[in-house]
């Protein structure tokens, strides 16, 4: 669970950011103590709060550029599959449908990972991404609504400019439910097509199904606080701190590369 953005995973896949597999969970659990992370949880969509998480796009002159991606990248908006070297993604497809709509898709090898349709409102101030995440045991569908915070440059497609997340729409339960099991110093995270088995305080491990070159290290900070640290190529790309408060799980996910943060809650099932 790199971020609460299970809701943004398909959009991330379509953008060619790191794949989200292995970062959420659902499976057997043992919730024997109110302070234990062990158990099955369901994320609360309306609890998500995004900080310093502006997305910046430019679609112009037949090219799509993601300025807010780390690192930024560009690819032809040709309507055809275009090769790209991104963690967990090797081809992207951007299609300009009309002056307010584009479609996107991503794949790795012969496997399509996700796709989305972006639609800008008539007044140009909202952007809705209806997305599908195919990178799991179950297909997950959802939507994300963005609010404009900077205009599109002259002559650019309406989806260009800077956007902040305004709200998360309905999402399939398979993208919301996750679980942890703990046996001594062993922690098991399992989910919709991914997960990990790690030693608390031990060496980083590669999440199941992760094709982005990422690893995760897990530690128990206190009786009710756990921390997952995600790294790639020796650099930290995300830190997820989980605090258990009875039947409520509070997550704070931070990307130290740009200080973007997502806060969210989940409820024990």
pLDDT for 56 equals 97
* Residue ranges of the chain assigned to CATH 2.40.128.20: 24-51+177-268
Q: What top-level class would CATH report for the domain 24-51+177-268?
A: mainly beta
In the chain, which ranges are continuous DSSP H helix?
A: 6-15
Distance of alpha carbon 54 from alpha carbon 149, whole angstroms = 8
Give per-residue pLDDT as tens, 93-134.
999 999 999 999 999 999 999 999 999 999 999 999 999 999
- Rounded Cα distance between 99 and 21, Å, is 33
Give dist(CA 191, CA 28) in Å, integer.
10
Structure tokens at 204: 């980083």
pLDDT averaged over every residue in the chain? 88
Distance CA 113, CA 11 (A): 10
Poorest-pLDDT segment among 5-14, 76-85, 185-194: 5-14
Q: With beta carbons less than 8 A apart as the criterion, state whether 204 and 220 touch.
A: no
Burial class (CB in 10 A: 0-12, 13-18, 19+), 220: middle
Question: How many Cβ atoms from other residues are within 10 Å of residue 134's Cβ?
Answer: 19
Check: CB of residue 202 under 8 Å from CB of residue 91. Answer: no
Contact 169, 142 (CB under 8 A): yes
For residue 12, the model assigns a pLDDT of 55
CA distances from 233 to 12, 197, 236 (A): 19, 20, 8
User: Has this prediction a pTM greater than 0.85?
Assistant: yes
């Amino acid at each position: 669970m790199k971020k609460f953005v299970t809701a943004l995973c398909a959009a991330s896949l379509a953008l060619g950011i790191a794949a989200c597999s292995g970062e959420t969970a659902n499976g057997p659990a043992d919730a024997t103590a109110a302070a234990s992370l062990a158990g099955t949880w369901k994320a609360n969509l309306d609890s998500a709060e995004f900080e310093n998480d502006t997305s910046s796009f430019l679609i112009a002159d037949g090219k799509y550029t993601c300025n807010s991606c780390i690192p930024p990248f560009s690819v032809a908006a040709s309507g055809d599959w275009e090769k790209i070297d991104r963690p967990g993604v090797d081809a992207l497809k951007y299609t300009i449908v009309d002056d307010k709509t584009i479609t996107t898709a991503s794949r790795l090898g012969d496997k399509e990972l996700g796709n989305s349709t972006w639609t800008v409102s008539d007044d140009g101030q909202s952007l809705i991404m209806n997305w599908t995440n195919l990178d799991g045991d179950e297909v997950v569908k959802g939507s994300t609504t963005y609010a404009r915070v900077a205009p599109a440059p002259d002559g650019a497609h309406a989806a260009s400019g800077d956007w902040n997340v305004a709200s998360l729409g309905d999402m399939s339960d398979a993208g919301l439910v996750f679980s942890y099991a703990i046996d001594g110093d062993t922690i098991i995270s399992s989910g919709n097509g991914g997960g990990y088995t790690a030693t608390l305080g031990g060496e980083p491990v590669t999440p199941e199904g992760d094709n982005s070159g990422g690893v995760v290290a897990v530690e128990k900070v206190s009786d009710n606080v756990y921390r997952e640290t995600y790294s790639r190529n020796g650099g930290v790309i995300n830190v997820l701190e989980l605090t258990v408060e009875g039947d409520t799980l509070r997550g704070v996910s931070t990307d130290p590369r740009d200080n973007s943060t997502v806060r969210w809650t989940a409820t024990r099932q």
